[in-house]
Structure 1
């Protein structure tokens, strides 16, 4: 059989190996400003949830079970079956005072929706330990309502050296998980070596790289552009208080300084998003078995 040539038609007029041929028939991700209650899918993880907040290029999604995950803005979401390039909303005038107060009544400090009033829950067998008293106070202020809602108790870990004994005594198993937030967790440190010893199927340890939890609070909340670099040999907290022009002579001054800093924190928007992500991972981990049983 001989081939036929149809006038005006050349099936081979395009180079199939030309750059971009793979994307030729793919739908284009449309730039879409983020909005509260928008239901998005993050296809890489398969997580689907409603938008409950955003900050510094990170959006927080909450699924139907109440689990929350944070993802960066960008062309990595689906909305109503179509790909979108999620962007920050256009800047608007500051909210009126009554709107802010209304938000406080309908959302917790972490950005979660406030549900109807309910009876106090019996604490779950699973626990979260937080290293450092100031760390524990910050977690309570921002996530306390969420933790009480799911029945998770947060306990104070005096120091990382105590962790192996705590894990051994707790004896984690399925339905009795242990999550731990460690201070100043960096690769190669003593803290990281201890974490490797205790991490297991029912133990999840995470942390932050701040030299102190104070630095998880956005410096603008205390009138700084950035947290100060404190010289070696100077206690970081006292050096920071000195840079702020606050009293810094003794531990009483340190305690008073932290109280002032904590008082400037009203919710998740006042914190570095990296801390938000790690705490949310802990809450997801310790509630996973219990949420599975409820579904």
Structure 2
């Protein structure tokens, strides 16, 4: 039996079997993270990623070899990682802003803490603007402590409100009053309201300003001091006119306050005479 060591005649008319075509590997995206070892296909340079930066309007990657030498290459295709072609891309960085370490009141911020169930104790303020300012600066602290701020709608209602609330050692009331200075109407009304109230259940503190607007540092609205408004002129509208803002309607007053409130970012934008009073009231109603 003969054996054809060469196989079929290469010159015969028989059609040869097709040779399979190898597909070129496709580059995959690869973030150029620091320390990643890559090879530049064109030069054969092998090195670890040191950094990615922008130069001349384009992103470049800096590679460092074993000897500590560095070379710079354009970011993009033309590299190998672990024997596979890759297209180097800029490393992914978090764009999320860093969590604040302090609240607007200056307290240490506590992340991922749910608001506490409301305490029985309360803080009362005279009006809406007072409440909005307290919320703007102390809101985070109050929610963590479970303190509710309620509107008193004027110190004239304090005596009746205390009678209805019936404060106790477990259900205290802290009250913030405007213009609480010796000889003022507010001082007289507070003294009358506290007659007969159990000691240690109510604390009334106030600031010297005609209105809580003045507790915002005047520099925040472009003033050196808050102007003095003559008697007989509605104070808030007088302030708006001094600022050159619309003051004809009550809606102008509301818009003016929102502009002032919008300038308040943290406790540093408020006068110390208000800061201390609010902090003291929070301490009073959160004592266990």
- 1:147 equivalent in structure 2: 142
The TM-score normalised by the length of structure 2 is 0.63
Map Cα deviations across residues 41-87 of structure 1 (whole Å, 9 max, x no partner): xxxxxxxxxxxxxxxxxxxxxxxxxxxxxxxxxxxxxxxxxxxxxxx
Task: Name the structure 2 match of 1:287.
Answer: 286
Q: Which has the higher helix share?
A: 1
Equivalent residue number for residue 271 of structure 1: 270
State the shift of 1:104 in Å.
7.0
Counterparts of 1:246 and 1:223, CA distance in 2: 12
| Correspondence 1:172 to 2:167 | yes
From the CA coordinates, give the structure whose radius of gyration is larger: 2
Structure 2 equivalent of residue 113 of structure 1: 108
Counterpart of 1:182 in structure 2 is: 177
Equivalent-residue separation in structure 1 for 2:184 and 2:231 (angstroms): 18
SS in 1 for 2:100: helix
Query: Partner of 1:136 in structure 2?
Result: 131
Match of 1:252 in 2: 251
Distance change (3 Å), C-alpha of 1:103 and 1:162: farther
Q: How far, CA to CA, are the matches of 2:215 and 2:241 in structure 1?
A: 19
- Give the match for residue 261 of structure 1: 260
Structure 2: gaps (5+ residues): 1-95
Q: Which residue of 2 aligns with 1:231?
A: 230
Deviations 1:73-108 (A, max 9, x none): xxxxxxxxxxxxxxxxxxxxxxxxxxxx97871111
Q: Secondary structure at the match of 1:105?
A: coil
Instruction: Determine the structure 2 residue equivalent to 1:206.
Output: 205
Question: Is the CA contact (8 Å cut-off) linking 2:114 and 2:144 kept in structure 1?
Answer: no
- For residues 37-52 of structure 1, what are the structure 2 equivalents within 5 Å? none
231 and 194 in structure 1: CA distance in 2 versus 1, 3 angstrom threshold: closer
Q: Runs ≥4 in structure 1, deviation > 6 angstroms?
A: 101-104
Shift of residue 237, structure 1, vs aligned partner = 1.0
CA distance in 1, matches of 2:97, 2:218: 26
Equivalent pair of 1:132/1:183 in contact (CA under 8 Å): no
Name stretches of at least 5 consecutive residues in structure 1 with no aligned partner.
Answer: 1-100, 290-295
Aligned-pair CA distance for 1:111? 0.5
CA distance in 2, matches of 1:103, 1:163: 43
| Structure 2 CA distance for partners of 1:264 and 1:103, relative to 1, 3 Å | farther
Cα RMSD between the aligned structures? 1.6
Per-residue deviation, 1:113:
0.7
Partner of 2:120: 125
SS in 1 for 2:149: strand
Deviation at 1:116, TM superposition (A): 2.8
Aligned residue pairs total: 189
1:17-49 deviation line (CA, Å, top 9, x unaligned):
xxxxxxxxxxxxxxxxxxxxxxxxxxxxxxxxx
Deviation of the 1:143 alpha carbon: 0.6
Task: Spell out, residue by residue over 1:176-213, the C-alpha distance to the aligned partner (whole angstroms, 9 max, x if none).
Answer: 11100011112122221221233432100011110111
Whole-Å separation in 2 of the counterparts to 1:112 and 1:103: 17
